[in-house]
Structure 1
Amino acid sequence: MKVKYFIPMAVLAMSLSSCLDNDNDNEPSSTQSWTYGDCFNVVTTTNEQGYKITKEPRYNFALSIKGAEAKMKISMSNIRLGDDIALSSFDLPALTATQEAVDKPITIVARDVVPENQATSGVIFDNIEVQILNRVIQNGMSGQWTASYVYKIRFSVNGKYNVTVFPLTTLLYGTTTSTPVDGGQPYMSTDTRYAIVMDLTDTANPVANLDITGAKFLAAMPALDMTFPKIPVSFVGNALQLTAANLIPQIKTGSTVTPYPNFPISDLNLGVTPVSGGSLNFNCVANTHGTFTVNSVLAPLSPSTPKTDN
């Protein structure tokens, strides 16, 4: 599986970097819209400890570009913040969008935004930050390219509620370095893919599976598909964290999943922020290969794939 940049709105970066300054009605224009629903909200309340998870929010985006100006309209539904704001929908006015380059996210940052559909309700978005990174992923079996957008959404409401949005499945690519504890030669790979698959059955105690495709931590180790199951999840700021003192990985062969006690994992720590990426660290005892540490720099785009905008 490979990833490349595929930016249908690449014209945004070019338009916003131009010096056009006129009101010509004949200026080229374009629009794009998409929906983000495979996600959940993490809500914190000012002056209160802890957080709560709310499921099945829905975010709709409509980007319009005319000449050198880009505007984004954002609507959201099924938003649960507290007893005073529950199951609400918000339609925000058009906000300015920017994009530094075709391989960078479309970005919206705004303050003191009043929803158009709740102008008299007293609801104010103190601040909102949205980033949308457009990418396509190539399936290694079929060779087909499929759009897979990466979203970062954070906002606060009425000086009370703070919301960070996370995907149900986070797909990441790693520059992974394995170092033997006995001082042997480190091994590095850029081919391993990681997927964090959330399980929100118990929103008070969320867990996630860490699926690893093409895991190869030693030169003598065959590439394996692994799952690190049911890792406890926590949230700190805009980051999702997985932490486990000890676990037994599972090896996937076709539809068969088998525990693999010959590769016990310890001291696993993963921290990731939507769009920005993060890091993964753990220790492993690899049967006859000794003990080694694994450190991976995680990113939403593959480090081994050439950049392209078409």
Structure 2
Amino acid sequence: MKKLISLFAILAMVFSMQSCINSGDTPDATQTIALKGYNHIHEPAKVDAPLRNKAAKYEMDINLSQMTMTLKATGAIESDGEEISLVFNNIALKYDQTNGGFSFSLPEATPVASDGNNYKVTDLNGSIAAYALSNSATSSMVTAITVLQISYTVNDKYDIFATLQTSTSATPEIYYTNCSTTTSAEGIAPFTTTVTTYLVNFITSTKANVTIVSAQFAQRMPQMTMVFPNVDVDMTASGYVFKADELIPKISDTPMPNYKVTNFRMETSSKGAVASVAFNCNIKGLNYSVAAMGKLLPSVKQNSEK
């Protein structure tokens, strides 16, 4: 089950229990959200400059009473090998009816930098959303996932974007939950499902595990969770490519060589908001082709799926 929920409502509930009283005795509702992930860094002025995938952390102090946010971004730039934190104060938040969360924008800003230098930041744009995700197909327990999408330019030189979300593991994750997957094979009618979803778990900046949740490639196939381990991470101008020429999937931590996967490729675009997946799997001499498209957030009407 994937349900888009109002971040505004979630924070309001939290604030009702954890309000801070300011010096004027007026409730001042604030909440901190910290997310870890990777910054996608590009120097467009340098034709031969490599794309960089750099560990990042974003801390958001949201004031619902004032509809403002203080944002601390770490991992975008460094000086003499030291990571620099940039703090943006009093960013105005707007309620976003599309995803039930917030959006924000700054055409130009000079954040407070941890090294005391001045950095020019332009075209800062972002959104914060949340959704509920069931822990399993048979469980009534759900996990609240917060998603931050952000992009900006530093010193007219570095174009940066990041897609970060609440991680259920020790390493950063990106979950594509609004998906359609079609499996086809010669002589068999194609099978399409919207239940299967895709989770990318970054091991390092160059390696990742891709987990297929509720994998189902035929009508009578029971849903299962499959892990495609240790795939390569490449970068494009608008996202990432996770790929492997061949791999042995794992089910319940057990390698399954009889289900060897070839030509695996998962590509994200639109700054991480959209993903496409394709791979082949030969089972008992029959070659299956799997193709999927997914989005970062559930659609507004996609309240639940079974």
Confirm whether residue 51 of structure 1 aligns to residue 51 of structure 2: yes
Taking the aligned partners of 1:32 and 1:147, their CA distance within structure 2 comes to 18
For residue 74 of structure 1, the aligned residue among 71, 74, 84 is 71
Counterpart code for 1:88: I
User: What is the root-mean-square deviation of aligned Cα atoms in Å?
Assistant: 3.2
CA gap of 1:259–1:4, structure 2 versus 1, over 3 A, is same
Taking the aligned partners of 1:296 and 1:125, their CA distance within structure 2 comes to 36
Aligned to 1:235: 235
Taking the aligned partners of 1:87 and 1:74, their CA distance within structure 2 comes to 16
Alignment of 1:93-132 (within 5 A): 93-101=89-97, 103-116=99-112, 121-132=117-128
Counterpart code for 2:84: S
Taking the aligned partners of 1:235 and 1:295, their CA distance within structure 2 comes to 20
Percent identity, aligned pairs only, is: 19
Taking the aligned partners of 2:293 and 2:92, their CA distance within structure 1 comes to 32
SS in 2 for 1:175: strand
Counterpart code for 2:140: G
Alignment of 1:132-143 (within 5 A): 132-140=128-136, 142-143=139-140
Taking the aligned partners of 2:263 and 2:115, their CA distance within structure 1 comes to 50
Give the C-alpha shift of residue 224 in structure 1.
Answer: 2.5
Counterpart code for 2:248: I
Give the C-alpha shift of residue 60 in structure 1.
Answer: 2.1
Give the C-alpha shift of residue 82 in structure 1.
Answer: 3.8
Alignment of 1:166-245 (within 5 A): 166-167=163-164, 168-173=172-177, 174-180=179-185, 182-200=186-204, 203=205, 206-245=206-245
- Report Cα offsets for 1:151-174 as digits up to 9, x if no partner: 112221101222222441112222
SS in 1 for 2:189: coil
Counterpart code for 2:207: V
TM-score under structure 2 length normalisation = 0.78
Taking the aligned partners of 2:110 and 2:81, their CA distance within structure 1 comes to 15
Taking the aligned partners of 1:37 and 1:8, their CA distance within structure 2 comes to 15
5+ residue gaps, structure 1, are 13-27
Counterpart code for 1:91: V
CA gap of 1:92–1:286, structure 2 versus 1, over 3 A, is same
- Report Cα offsets for 1:106-160 as digits up to 9, x if no partner: 2222221111468983311022121111112232365233321111122211012
Aligned to 2:5: 6
Give the C-alpha shift of residue 42 in structure 1.
Answer: 2.9
Taking the aligned partners of 1:154 and 1:302, their CA distance within structure 2 comes to 21
- Report Cα offsets for 1:228-272 as digits up to 9, x if no partner: 1111111223412212222222222xxxx2222222222222122
Size of the aligned set, in residue pairs, is 278
SS in 2 for 1:262: helix
Aligned to 2:15: none
Give the C-alpha shift of residue 65 in structure 1.
Answer: 5.0
Q: 1:127–1:157: 8 Å Cα contact kept in structure 2? A: no
5+ residue gaps, structure 2, are 12-25, 165-171
Q: 1:263–1:287: 8 Å Cα contact kept in structure 2? A: no
CA gap of 1:139–1:161, structure 2 versus 1, over 3 A, is same
